[in-house]
Amino acid sequence: MISWLQTWTALPNLHPLLIHFPIALFMIALCFDFGALIFRRQTWFDRAAATLYFLGVMGGIASYFAGLQAADLLGESTPVIEAAINSHSDWAFKTLLVFGVLLLGRLLLAWIQRNEMELGLLPWRATLLIVALVGQYMLFQTGDRGGALVYRHGVGVAKGTLSSGQSPTNGKANTLQTGFQKLKGGALAWRPLPTDQKAFGTILRYVSGSSDDSAFVAAPKGGQKGLGLKISGRAVLVLPGNFGDLKVRARLQLDTFKGTVGLVHHAYSSKQAFLFSCSTEKKAYLYKLLEKGNQKLDSAQCLLPKDRSFVMTVTGYGGHHKGFLDLRTIVHGHGGLGKPGAAGLYFQGKGIVRILSLEILPSSGKNSHGSHDHGKGGKHDHGSHDHGKGGKHDHGSHDHGKGGKHDHGSHEQGRGKNHGHGKGGSHDHGKGGGHDHGKGGGHDHGKGGSHDHGKGGGHDHGKGGGHDHGKGGGHDH
């Protein structure tokens, strides 16, 4: 459809072309709602309102699917943009849901009018008007988040995707061992050397329940880069620490390996984790691994390069899960994340795989519990901030020191905002179960959870530090 669109429009997708119609239709329908309440004997107000809501809902559904496609085409994004897209998506789906309920109420009212006295319909009309006002508020919040994607983050306008060689983890690092770095904000980056054999079992270790004889360090050969692992069977290997919302990114190269390679996150054991996998048989899957059977979230076709290295990425933000291959979105599914868990690599097959790099980037939504101590039951949730009345708290460009830009998207601080989904519509998956009141911002410390980042923990926005999430955008199926 994209090539067809380019023949008659400069727009990359249909979403910006469609979305203005349902917005206008819903707003005009509200005017007829008031007219029907004031001029109760003029039944044409009711018919007009019902017609406008019907057209608005149909346009909203079309805009929603166009928005999903628009996000799919963007490819791998940075955490702050991913959070903003998910927030817009969630809000829009709930908004569409409210107007759908309102449409059904309007149609039911039209049916009741044939047999009931007009005086008895006043409470019904008042209820529908309240629902319509709630829908208008949600429509504003959805539109505001969509506008921020374009005008604050440049999504769909500026080139915001990562290059295949660009690392999403920036900032001053503390080198712990050869090739392994602990970056600011709880991020981890590991670029092993061919001779870094001691890292296996210390930096990269088996997750609980994984067989300890399914992976061995392969003897290094001249001119090769990265750490070679000889796989025989099924191995789930993770880096230190537990993480909430995050991105896991690995550069791998298949030497003689045949089978399935993948990335895991929120891993509690070899049979409890979220998994994005690609096989040499051209199959890609997004799974929620469970002790009693696995839940497939999505599947697609993929082609693993054999003659060069490739980049695999998986993201888990709230209830949104995406898998990327060389920056292109392959799979996209939904499901609650649960408590923070380990993250790393997945192998099932036989042969040698070379690990050139492995990175874990906690989002600003839920930072690594390996790096932040928020007290008993306290989790650091930047995915939702509600400050009641008082406008917007914009963390989009706060300068916290030389080179330290703290970019949390834009914290929306309106009244009583709830978690919502996509451009023109969305699914309500939350952001790890919290309230979503903005585009990636919020503090949820749980019971008794206070800000205690401890020594070396917390957010250091000093020189070279801070949250720098780079540029990026959406996902592409």
**Per-residue pLDDT, 299:** 93
**Per-residue pLDDT, 173:** 38
**Per-residue pLDDT, 178:** 55
On the 0-12 / 13-18 / 19+ scale of CB atoms within 10 A, 124 is: middle
User: Rounded to whole angstroms, how far apart are CA atoms 64 and 93?
Assistant: 8
pLDDT tens-place values along the chain, 477 residues long: 455 655 666 677 788 888 999 999 999 999 998 888 888 777 788 888 889 999 999 999 999 988 887 887 777 777 788 888 888 988 999 999 999 999 998 888 877 776 665 556 778 888 889 999 999 999 999 999 888 888 888 877 645 444 444 444 444 433 334 578 888 888 999 999 888 888 888 899 999 877 778 898 888 877 788 899 999 999 999 999 999 989 999 999 998 899 999 999 999 998 999 999 999 999 999 999 998 888 999 999 999 998 889 999 999 888 888 999 998 889 988 888 889 999 999 999 999 999 999 999 998 644 334 333 333 333 333 333 333 434 443 333 333 334 444 443 333 333 333 433 434 343 433 333 433 333 334 444 334 343 433 333 434 333 333 343 333 343 333
On the 0-12 / 13-18 / 19+ scale of CB atoms within 10 A, 393 is: middle
Residue in this structure with the two tokens 């989002």, named with its chain if needed: 363
Strands 246-254 and 295-301: unpaired
Radius of gyration of the CA atoms of the chain, in A? 25
Region for residue 368 given its phi and psi (left: phi exceeds 0; alpha: psi -120 to 50; beta: otherwise): beta
Cβ-contact 331, 299 below 8 angstroms: yes
Reduced to 3 states, what is the DSSP secondary structure of residue 383?
coil
- Cite the beta strand spans of 207-303 per DSSP E: 215-217, 227-238, 246-254, 258-269, 272-279, 283-289, 295-301
Cα angle vertex 295, ends 293, 297, to 5°? 165
Cβ-contact 325, 284 below 8 angstroms: yes
**Per-residue pLDDT, 394:** 39
**Per-residue pLDDT, 376:** 37
Q: What is the dihedral of CA 217, 219, 223, 226, to 10 degrees?
A: 0
User: Rounded to whole angstroms, how far apart are CA atoms 65 and 15?
Assistant: 8
Cβ-contact 228, 193 below 8 angstroms: no
Kind plus residue range of the DSSP H or E element containing 354: strand 342-362
Cα angle vertex 347, ends 345, 348, to 5°? 160
Kind plus residue range of the DSSP H or E element containing 109: helix 79-112
In the chain, where the domains are located: 173-362
**Per-residue pLDDT, 386:** 39
**Per-residue pLDDT, 353:** 93
User: Rounded to whole angstroms, how far apart are CA atoms 440 and 443?
Assistant: 10
User: Other CB atoms closer than 10 Å to residue 308's CB: what's the count?
Assistant: 8
DSSP single-letter state for residue 162 = P
What DSSP assignment string belongs to 143-157? HHHHHHHHHTT-TTT
The CATH class that applies to domain 173-362 reads mainly beta
User: Rounded to whole angstroms, how far apart are CA atoms 144 and 375?
Assistant: 34
Reduced to 3 states, what is the DSSP secondary structure of residue 196?
coil
**Per-residue pLDDT, 120:** 61
